[in-house]
Structures are given as structure tokens and as C-alpha cells.
Amino acid sequence: MNVLVITESCFGNTARVAEAIATGLRSRNATVTVAAASSGPALDGVHLLILGAPTHNMGIPSPASRRQAREKGGQAPATGVAEWLEALPGDPGCRVVAFDTVTGTGFFSGSAAKSIEKRLRRRSVSVIARKSFLVTSTQGPLADGELDRAEQWGASLA
């Protein structure tokens, strides 16, 4: 199974989760590529697409929220998952999964993964699984056990 993990990260936490998911998938013999969203869509031969982003202002990062992240010391990319999705012509033609990182677990934390799901639903594309991973503060680190949880989730997706 060929898997493409497209991710965006300002402080490194979402990128770490993406790598842990990839490790889990590889343990089940999947072939996995992890790429920054700024690299643009390349879906040839991909069976499973995994999209992951940090939650910003309750949703998917925008140019404005990336600026805010930079002001807090983050290395936000110029473009991310939102722009990657915009550049995607129609249906990706494979199974799609979404994840995010969040600092809170309540309703008011929001979820970038939910925003990704909503954007895809507008194109009649279903997200088959969605998960949030907890960071302890804006800069991180990830809460205890989250990387293990990400690896296990990755294995379960294979």
C-alpha cells in the first residue's frame, strides 16, 4: 500500500506526529512518503492520503494564523494544507484520513482535521478517519503517550 502523508507544522509537533504515523504504517509494510504541504499535490499511485495540520484559531492554519505563529517563535511555512487542498483538482481518488494537533480537548479548541474534513466534504470526498493529538502548549511538546498513540493509529490504518 502506498501512503502519502502531507503535513504542515510551525513548531515541529505535527511533523513529529506525522513521522510516528508513518512508522506505524511502515511496521505493517506500507510504503510511506511524508511531505510538507508546501511541496504541492502528487497523488500518482497513492492508495491512502493522510493530511495533518496544527489547529489554529479552531481550524486549519491560514496566512494570518501562520503570521501569528511566527510572532510566537514558530517557523511557519508560507503555504500549508489549506493551499494544498485548494491546488488539488477535484477528488484525490484514494482513501483520505485527517489528523491535527491541539492544545485543548474541549469543544472550543476546534480541530484542523475537522476543517479538512469539511473542505473535502464540499467536494463530496469523505474522510474515513480523523484524530487529534494533544500538545501541552502552543510550542509543545506533545503530551505523554501521544507519539505512541500516533504510531498505533498509523499501524491501524494500514
Q: Which is nearer to ligand FMN, 57 or 156 (CB)?
A: 57
Strand partners, 49: 4, 96
141, 10 Cβ separation under 8 angstroms: no
Distant-in-sequence contacts of 128-131, Cβ < 8 A, 24+ apart:
128/95, 128/96, 128/97, 129/97, 129/98, 129/157, 130/97, 130/98, 130/99, 131/99
Among 19, 24, 25, 56, binds ligand FMN (CB under 6 A): 56
Site string for ligand FMN, 139-158 (x = CB under 6 A): -x------------------
Stretch that binds ligand FMN, among 25-33, 35-43, 61-69, 143-151 (CB under 6 A): 61-69
Cell of 28: 505493517
CB of 89 to ligand FMN, least distance (A): 27
- Cβ neighbourhood burial of 141 (10 Å; 0-12, 13-18, 19+): middle
Q: Is residue 135 at the binding interface for ligand FMN, with CB under 6 A as the rule?
A: yes
CA atoms within 13 A on the CB side of 61: 33
Phi, psi values for residue 127, rounded to 5°: -90, 125
Q: Which is nearer to ligand FMN, 95 or 149 (CB)?
A: 149
Q: Which is nearer to ligand FMN, 13 or 125 (CB)?
A: 13
Q: Which is nearer to ligand FMN, 23 or 103 (CB)?
A: 103
Other CB atoms within 10 A of residue 17 CB = 30
Site string for ligand FMN, 63-102 (x = CB under 6 A): --x--xx--x-x--------------------------xx
Interface residues with ligand FMN (CB under 6 A) are 9-14, 54-58, 65, 68-69, 72, 74, 101-104, 109-110, 135, 138, 140
